[in-house]
Amino acid sequence: MSDLHNRKVYHPNEEFAKNAAIKSMDEYRALQDEATNDYEGFWGRFAKEKLDWVEPFTNVLDESDFPFVKWFDGGKLNVSSQCIDRHLDARGDKTAILFEGDRGDVQKITYKELSKNVNKFANLLKEDFEVKKGDRVVIYMPMIPEAAYAMLACARIGAIHSIVFGGFSAEALKDRIQDAEAKVVITADGAYRKTKPYMLKPVVDTALEGETPVKKVLVVERNNEEINWVDGRDYSYHELIKNKSDVCAPEVMDSEDPLFLLYTSGSTGKPKGVQHNSAGYILWAQMTMEWVFDVKEDDVYWCTADVGWITGHTYIVYGPLAMGATTVMFEGVITYPDAGRPWKMVQDHKVNQFYTAPTAIRVLHKMGEHEPANYDVSSLKVLGTVGEPIDPPAWKWYYEEVGNSKCAIVDTYWQTETGGHVVSPLPGATPIKPACATLPLPGIMAEIIDEEGNTPELGEKGLMCITRPWPAMIRGVWGDKERFIKSYFGDVKKDGKPVYFTGDGAVYDKDGYITITGRTDDVINVSGHRMGTAEVEAAILKDDNVAEVAVVGKPHPLKGEGIFAYIALKSEVSDEEAEKKSINNIIKQEIGNIALCDHIIFVPGLPKTRSGKIMRRILRSIAKGEEITQDISTLEDPSIVEKIVAMAK
Ligand code: WTA
């Protein structure tokens, strides 16, 4: 980070800034001051202005049971109404969801049509599946409009959805179904990838083998491939939806009634069911759409994430629809048939805001450096990035080749737990620097501090924390209050009080800009997907011949990080390659392809302290090919390090 303080500054496009939601740094500071001086007044004002309340709230923030907080207590609303009903008069014929299928098939679903589809879906869940307020519904779906209908239908009847990314294995799906005690699964027969059909329903069948809380499965037919139907359990969406009424009164929800769970990896144990509630979440989803993406009435906005991740929740479905935007949903692969696909889509649909992950930017850069120039991408105004720290070369390419040096890049830093962006440039206000998330958004008290709450010396790494509760923050870990407190409020204190720690390291530059340096815990970020080392290790340990394992992240030119596993076997094998394959096969079964190891080495033992703690720092250094500078004299067997270094070469 030697050039941290001397990065080039790019100022907002003046023409753009004139009409931006936040037009200048003065406006930004005024909002920030408003929040600092009267935190509850600030949030109360926006909650009143932005949300359609059935009954107004009586209290803005209740921290009496911190870290379990309540926002907008007494208020009643429905998130699906916020996303649909309130737009019907003003923009009923506007496209809400612009779907492009893998094979180029396009569907434009207006707000009126969305309303009908969601209401029918809600009636189906209520009438045929007896889903009630508070019930959990697992959604295991491809990127098709029905996934959004399913989410909003749950929100409409007060059911809590829990989406499991379609790349997760049957075992991972089963764990999540059981932890959430879901009574319904919504899935599809499958979908298309690179024009070929792939399947999801068989994975659900396997996940439901044995004892399961699931009573019914709804199957959306997307590719019409042959699937297995279990009598009395599996139902066709297309059959059931036919005779449903398109009117379903929205369930009146309390501000703090749960909206969804989303399982995410932590540094220890199994994935956690991150719980988000209704009012605070939808408020911030909507506000950040306005502030960070600056979406205008006639704009077309495209986020390339999958609905299986938080980015898909907040910035494909809830945020864009809450503000009445046109949101693009894409089933395919952005590099298929070639690396011009996204730019062709930008041209075809006149996309104004484009939001993707650094890993995608690196791949598009590598595969098609000059592809953007082959298309008319002049409609673009704001480019976004999320999911991992972006590297300056990728940033520069994005800015120059995709954005034609005229679009703002919003490097949005946030997490599943924060619900929406927390540190990000504002495209009409913030001067940006390459690969820098810049400043906390107004109302978010994000600070880099050390464990005692002090600001680190300039240029020194510290811990990325949020020192006051914010409306879209995680409300709990499903079924585990202790884990919620321990995971997020255990490590850092400010003024003697625990504060929310993100798990990321960060550093200030001389202008007070925040640059995220990556996770400080045992979480690996593979292509922008969070993987807990503990989860991958638990999977590998299912191999009977594995005695011990430690996995770490290794920098990867495209994926950001790849997984590197050090494995001690119980007995030697004659064919190491076959053993590696079989280990990766287990990972595929237990978690899914996203957690496959790039590197596996078989070692005689792991470097451990005398108390038995694995020294991961050393293993991380070895994986990176760095010189070992750590003191290894405290290890139980220091000679092991030398042996591993030799083997890793
Ligand atoms: C990382 C994704 C640097 C970070 C929204 C965080 C980032 C984790 C950025 C959350 C960014 C996300 N710059 N790092 N702009 N955005 N991260 O829960 O390590 O899937 O903790 O949420 O991604 O991943 P999650």
pLDDT tens for 167-177 read 999 999 999 99
Beta strands in 570-638 (DSSP E): 599-602
**pLDDT score for 634:** 84
**pLDDT digits over 191-245, tens only?**
999 999 999 999 999 999 999 999 999 999 999 999 999 999 999 999 999 999 9
Mean pLDDT of 61-82: 98
Q: Domain 412-517 classified CATH 3.20.110.20?
A: no
Contact (CB, 8 A) for 323 and 286: yes
Q: Which residue has the higher pLDDT, 648 or 70?
A: 70
Counting atoms of ligand 1 from 1, which one is nearest the CA of 502?
A: 21
pTM of the model: 0.96
- Per CATH, 412-517 and 522-648 having the same topology is answered no
Q: 348-395 pLDDT, tens per residue?
A: 999 999 999 999 999 999 999 999 999 999 999 999 999 999 999 999
Per-residue pLDDT tens digits for 101-135: 999 999 999 999 999 999 999 999 999 999 999 99
CB 278 near ligand 1, within 6 Å: no
Quick check: 1 pLDDT over 80? no
**Rounded Cα distance, 55 and 44, in Å:** 14
State whether the beta carbon of 487 lies less than 6 angstroms from ligand 1.
no
CA–centroid distance, residue 414 to ligand 1 (Å)? 5
Six-digit token pair at 551?
């996995």
573 C-beta neighbours (distance < 10 Å), count: 14
Query: If you average pLDDT over residues 246-260, what whole number do you get?
Result: 98
Nearest CA to ligand 1 atom 14: 388
For the residues 567-593, what does the mean pLDDT come to?
Answer: 96
Beta bridge mates, 494: 497
**CB distance 335 to ligand 1 below 6 Å:** no
Residue whose CA is at the smallest distance from ligand 1 atom 11: 413
pLDDT at 305: 97
Ligand 1 closest atom vs CA 516: 3
356 lines ligand 1 (CB under 6 A): no
In the beta sheet, which residues pair with residue 601?
566
Q: Which residue lies with its CA nearest to atom 22 of ligand 1?
A: 415
List the residue whose alpha carbon is closest to atom 4 of ligand 1. Answer: 388
Query: What is residue 2's predicted lDDT score, i.e. its pLDDT?
Result: 52
379 CA → ligand 1 middle, Å = 27
As a whole number, mean pLDDT of residues 26-46 equals 98
Considering the segment(s) 36-278 as one domain, its CATH architecture is: 3-Layer(aba) Sandwich (3.40)
Burial code (b: 16+ CB inside 10 Å, e: under 16) for 65-90 equals: eebebbbbbebbbbbbbbbbbebeee
Give the mean model confidence (pLDDT) for residues 254-280: 94
What proportion of the chain, given as a percentage, has pLDDT over 70?
100
Query: Please, which pLDDT band fits residue 633 given cuts at 50, 70 and 90?
Result: confident
C-alpha 429/C-alpha 359 separation (Å) is 27
| Domains of the chain by residue range | 36-278, 412-517, 522-648
Kindly report the protein residue whose alpha carbon is nearest to atom 24 of ligand 1: 415
Whole-angstrom Cα distance, residue 365 to residue 402? Answer: 10
Split at pLDDT 50, 70, 90, the class of 149 is very high
List the beta bridge partners of residue 595.
none
For residue 389, the ligand 1 atom closest to its alpha carbon is 3
Q: What is the pLDDT of residue 267?
A: 77
Phi, psi (deg, nearest 5) at residue 55? -135, 140
Chain mean pLDDT for the chain: 96
* pLDDT higher than threshold 60 for residue 74: yes
Q: What is the pLDDT of residues 458-470, one digit of tens each?
A: 999 999 999 999 9
Per-residue pLDDT reduced to its tens digit, 585-594 = 999 999 999 9
pLDDT digits (tens, 9 = 90+) for 391-417: 999 999 999 999 999 999 999 999 999
The reply to whether CATH 3.30.300.30 applies to domain 522-648 is yes
Please give the distance, rounded to the nearest whole angstrom, from the Cα atom of residue 559 to the centre of ligand 1. 14
- Residue 646 Cα to ligand 1 midpoint, Å, equals 34
Total number of residues shown for the chain: 649
Nearest residue (by CA) to ligand 1, atom 7, is 388
**Sole residue written with tokens 């949903």:** 329
Mean pLDDT value across residues 441-460: 97
Does any ligand 1 atom lie closer than 6 A to the CB of residue 264? yes
Interatomic CA distance for residues 642 and 635, integer angstroms: 12
Asked if 602 and 568 count as a contact pair (C-beta separation under 8 A), the reply is yes
Query: Helical H runs in 139-230?
Result: 145-157, 170-180, 201-207
CA of 502 to the centre of ligand 1 (A): 9
309 lines ligand 1 (CB under 6 A): yes
- The answer to whether the beta carbons of residues 488 and 555 sit under 8 Å apart is no
pLDDT of residue 612: 84
On whether the CB atoms of residues 553 and 561 are closer than 8 A, the answer is yes
Tell whether ligand 1 has an atom less than 6 A from the beta carbon of residue 388. yes
Residues with Cβ within 8 Å of 525's Cβ and at least 6 positions away in sequence, in order, are 387, 388, 518, 519, 531, 553, 560, 561
For residue 200, how far is the Cα from the chain centroid? Answer: 21
Pocket lining: 519 vs ligand 1, CB cutoff 6 Å: yes
CA nearest ligand 1 atom 5, residue? 415
